[in-house]
Amino acid sequence: MDRKLLQKVIQEEVRGTAKWGNTDKSPSILLNAATEELGEVAHAINHDEGKDAVAQEIAETIGVLSRLYDMVIPPAAPPSPIGRRAA
């Protein structure tokens, strides 16, 4: 992924969490937001708003999808020390 786009995605994750963190408590809300953001990407493309506007809309969409991923995919648990052989 382009570094600039990745930086924008991270910014959008932070901005979205700060703005909506108390309200987007369910996956369905984030999924609806992602769908709306994807529509914004299509709008920017269809109306020739330029590559910067399209990249920004894509970053916002990926930011929402990233927050959705974090919500529905629990972080991996650390490996259990039980059953390990002593070195």
Name the residue ranges covered by the structural domains of the chain. 3-72
CB-based contact 60:19 (threshold 8 Å): no
Q: Residue 86 pLDDT more than 70?
A: no
Give yes or no for a contact between 65 and 35, defined as CB atoms under 8 angstroms apart. Answer: no
Angle between helices 51-72 and 27-46 in degrees, nearest 10: 170
DSSP string, 34-80: HHHHHHHHHHHHHTT--HHHHHHHHHHHHHHHHHHHHHHSPPPPPPP
Quick: pLDDT tens for 20-68.
776 677 889 889 888 999 999 999 999 999 999 999 899 889 888 888 8
